[in-house]
A and B are shown apart, each in its own frame.
Chain A
Amino acid sequence: MELLKLGECFGSLNCVTTQVTSALILGMVLFLVASGLSLIFGVLGVMNFAHGALYMLGAYFSYTLLTLHWNFGVIVLLASMGVGVFGVVFERLFIRRIYASPLLYQLLLCYAFILILDDLVKLVWGYEFKNSGVPDAFRRPPIQVLQSFIPSYYVFILIIGGAVAIALWFFLAKSKFGKVIQAAAHSSEMVGALGINVNLVYAGVFALGSFLAGLGGVLAGPVRSIYPGMGASIIIESFIVVVVGGLGSIGGAFVGAMLIGLMKSFGIIGFPLIEESFVFILMAVVLIFKPTGLFGKKAT
């Protein structure tokens, strides 16, 4: 039944464009969150379980700022940077103390902050679902691509996401600070011995990772519902992206996120009941044939 629908979809250019666009949107937001997670893990060695909560904060920040009707570009920047600043405070006050602790304590500290942030969000913004709607600047006719129409806000997400992906790669691979980050991931002691302030590097990486999660939330905010606990599903998907792409690899996170976006958006047509299991099956297959992920170098 549904398989026929999937076949029909592949037969029509219109359907393929629509589904590919929605896959790219899903993938782009997922990439932003997962790359932050992967980056923080790669350098600090901490699996930031609370990363989904940072994504949620980004969405709420943008929700509040949108009511002010400022320029949307400014809102995106302010809200994401707000999450980045929150991340630094979180790292300096709490995460810093558990770098040397067993994994259990690291995960639990982050988990505790998921609980705390979810409740704080309820205190500030209330229990109910929020929907900020598409920003004013994007209330215009959709853009025609091939035979289908794509809302202009989607195009905006794709452009910003793509730009960030390229900038991130460039920053990590080419810039001096990026090289320091890579070195710190490899041996923080050696970096410290060379006279570089490792604490500053750690705080900076956590800020960047949080900024990325926040940006994901800010961009997704206008097109998804915003509610306390919305971070839960994205953090699990981000884990899967990271497992598929390889822990600590930004390129892997990109490929993983796009793969999952495609599987979800086409899976929902062909296999609506088990669409979500697809993602897990992908993960299981990767784990059997390439346990370190598609782009991962070594198991940790």
Chain B
Amino acid sequence: MRKTFIMGILVMGFLLVFPFLYYSKFLVDYLTQILISALFAASLNLLVGYTGMVSFGHAGFFGVGAYAVGVMLQKYSTSLVGSLLFAVILSAVVAMVIGFFCIRLGEIYFAMLTMAFAQIIYTIVVKWTPMTGGDQGLIGGIPKPPIAFFGLSFDIGTSLNFYLFTVILVIGSFILLKLIVDSPFGAILKTIRDNSLRSYFIGIPVKLYQWIIFVIAGTFGGLSGALMALFISGAYPDFTYWTKSAEPIFMILVGGMGSLLGPVIGAVIFNLLSAYITIYTHLYELVMGIILVVFILSLKKGLTDFLFESESFKKLIPQRLQRALAPEDGGKTS
């Protein structure tokens, strides 16, 4: 637990100091985007990688978080911290309701139902025009009032300050996520993933655990959506569409689902790809699809899982660092 904090603080410190050593607006914006999508992917990985629940509707929470924060700031002029809290709480409540239905049946139903529920959120967003702006999205900009903190005020209006704000929230969340997956609770999740029937037999209330982790994943998914809405100063129906749900799955698959580092690597690759493919071709989906097919049929695991399990990695990297980075259990889904 202490290690997690030290590691987290070190990473956070580096990311906070770095733009003061070398500043580029492009890079800072880019890193902000990567951090947000990494949180989105890592929150989904709690379900897919750690508990073996394949959710195809994670964008629902992303959208709830984004619209909640956007509507609160734009229409009710609440404080920034208050709006973020509201977004996170609302995502948790929505996840409780959706999770209640989705965990009731086997994994194929789970995948289909999560997708169907995300689609309900999508239709609500599109139809509830007075509140959400309908299919136009929440346009006209989202005001970002400065955060008042013990008499000090911090303005997140500039790229750099918003980046710093994102680093603190995202890395803070990652520390929490790491604590969750390393806790006894996290160990039970992995047990459920590896064999849910046996877990049930040894007295674990499997459904309850699945419900709890679903709510946790939805909450962090909502936070990532809220950050994205603030970052691009708007929220769009696309945020809740099922193609958005596939993005974090892509990141997890490419990056690796056995650790929390996997989704981060996946987020970096995904953001690089989406930036560069669109420069060369408008057939973005075709290229993404082909990359997916290649990964599924050839590697059958993400880059980090591949790396951690390879022989040369085990020889080259000191044992201690290996243990810190790699998951102990390889990371498989049932």
Interface positions of A (Cβ within 8 A of B): 41, 47, 94, 97-98, 101-105, 107-109, 111-116, 118-120, 122-123, 232, 236, 239-240, 242-243, 247, 273-274, 276-277, 280, 283-284, 287-288, 291-292, 299-300
Instruction: Assess the A109–B106 pair: CB atoms within 8 A.
Output: no
Complex interface residues of chain B between 88 and 113 (CB less than 8 A to chain A) = 101, 104-109, 111-113
Which bracket fits the contact residues of B?
Answer: 35 or more
* B21 within 8 Å of A (CB atoms): no
Contact stretch, chosen from B63-71, B219-227, B283-291: B283-291
Q: B293 — nearest CB in chain A belongs to which residue? A: A112
Question: Do B104 and A109 touch (CB < 8 A)?
Answer: no
- Choose one: A97, A115, A243; the contact of B113 (CB below 8 Å): A243
B253 touches A116 (CB 8 A): no
A116→B289 contact, CB < 8 A:
yes
Cβ contact within 8 Å between B108 and A115: no
Instruction: Note all chain B residues with C-beta closer than 8 A to A247.
Output: 108-109
Which listed residue (B101, B116, B284, B297) contacts A94, Cβ 8 A? B297
Complex partner residue of A119 from B106, B242, B283, B292, CB under 8 angstroms: B283
A112 in contact with B116 (CB, 8 Å):
no
Q: B199 on the interface (CB 8 Å rule)? A: no
B296 contacts A by Cβ under 8 Å: yes
Select one of B48, B117, B286, B288 contacting A104, CB under 8 A. B48
A240 CA to B283 CA, complexed, in Å: 31
**B311 CB to closest chain A CB, in angstroms?**
24
A119 touches B253 (CB 8 A): no
A242 CB contacts on chain B under 8 angstroms: 112
Q: Which residues of B contact A102 (CB under 8 A)?
A: 332-334
A104-B54, A232-B242 known; A47 vs B111 contact (CB < 8 Å): yes
Taking A105-B300, A111-B246, A112-B288 as known contacts, 5 extra A-B pairs with beta carbons closer than 8 A to each other, sorted by chain A number, are A107-B54, A108-B249, A116-B289, A119-B284, A239-B112
Bound CA span A109–B246, Å: 12
CB neighbours (8 Å) of A292 from chain B are 105
Given A103-B107, A300-B106; A236-B242 close (CB under 8 Å): yes
- Beta-carbon contact of A277 and B289 below 8 Å: no
Q: Are A97 and B286 in contact (CB-based, < 8 A)?
A: no
CB distance from A34 to the nearest CB of B (A): 12
Q: Is the CB of B56 within 8 A of A107?
A: yes
User: When chains A and B are docked, how far (Å) is the Cα of A103 from the Cα of B286?
Assistant: 22
Which residues of chain A come closer than 8 Å to B198, judged between CB atoms? none
Q: B322 to nearest A CB, angstroms?
A: 25
Most buried by A among B54, B112, B288, B300: B112
- Of B79-87, B119-127, B261-269, the one with at least 4 CB within 8 A of chain A: B119-127
Docked complex Cα distance between A47 and B117 (Å):
18
Q: Does B115 contact A (CB under 8 A)?
A: yes
Task: Count how many pairs of residues, one from A and one from B, have CB atoms less than 8 Å apart in the complex.
Answer: 116
Contact A283 B109 (CB under 8 A): no
Across the interface, which residues of B come within 8 angstroms of A47, CB to CB? 108, 111-112
In the bound assembly, the distance between CA atoms of A239 and B123 in angstroms comes to 17
Most buried by B among A41, A113, A236, A274: A236
- Given contacts A109-B292, A112-B289, A300-B106, are A101 and B119 in contact (CB under 8 A)? no
Q: Give 8 nearest A-B pairs by CB, closest first.
A: A115-B289, A112-B292, A119-B286, A116-B289, A115-B285, A112-B289, A239-B112, A102-B333
Can you list 30 A-B contacts with CB-CB less than 8 angstroms, sorted by A residue number? A94-B293, A101-B300, A103-B54, A103-B107, A103-B111, A105-B300, A107-B54, A107-B56, A107-B111, A108-B246, A108-B249, A111-B246, A112-B296, A113-B289, A113-B293, A115-B292, A118-B285, A119-B283, A119-B284, A120-B286, A123-B283, A236-B115, A236-B116, A242-B112, A243-B109, A274-B127, A276-B120, A280-B120, A283-B113, A291-B104
Most buried by A among B108, B123, B286: B108
Instruction: Report B-chain residues with C-beta under 8 Å of the C-beta of A240.
Output: 116
- Given the interface pairs A47-B112, A119-B289, A239-B116, the reply to whether A299 lies near B105 with Cβ below 8 Å is yes
Q: List B residues 289-334 near A (Cβ within 8 Å).
A: 289-290, 292-293, 296-297, 300, 332-334
For chain B, residues 117 to 140, give those with C-beta under 8 angstroms from any C-beta of chain A.
117, 119-120, 123-124, 127
Among B116, B242, B296, which residue has the most Cβ atoms of chain A within 10 A? B296
In the bound complex, what is the Cα–Cα distance between A293 and B290 (angstroms)? 35
Contact B286 A115 (CB under 8 A): yes
A292 vs B54: C-alpha distance in the bound complex, in angstroms? 19
Q: List residues of chain A with CB within 8 A of the CB of B105.
A: 287, 291-292, 299
A252 smallest CB distance to B (angstroms):
14
A170-B111 Cα distance, complex, nearest whole Å: 32
- Given the complex of chains A and B, what is the CA–CA distance between A293 and B106 in angstroms? 13
Tell me which residues across on chain B come within 8 A of A111, comparing CB atoms: 246, 249, 292
A280 near B292 with CB under 8 A, answer no
B292 x A108 contact (CB < 8 A): yes
Q: Give bound CA distance, A247 to B107, whole Å.
A: 13
Partner of A103, one of B108, B293, B300: B108
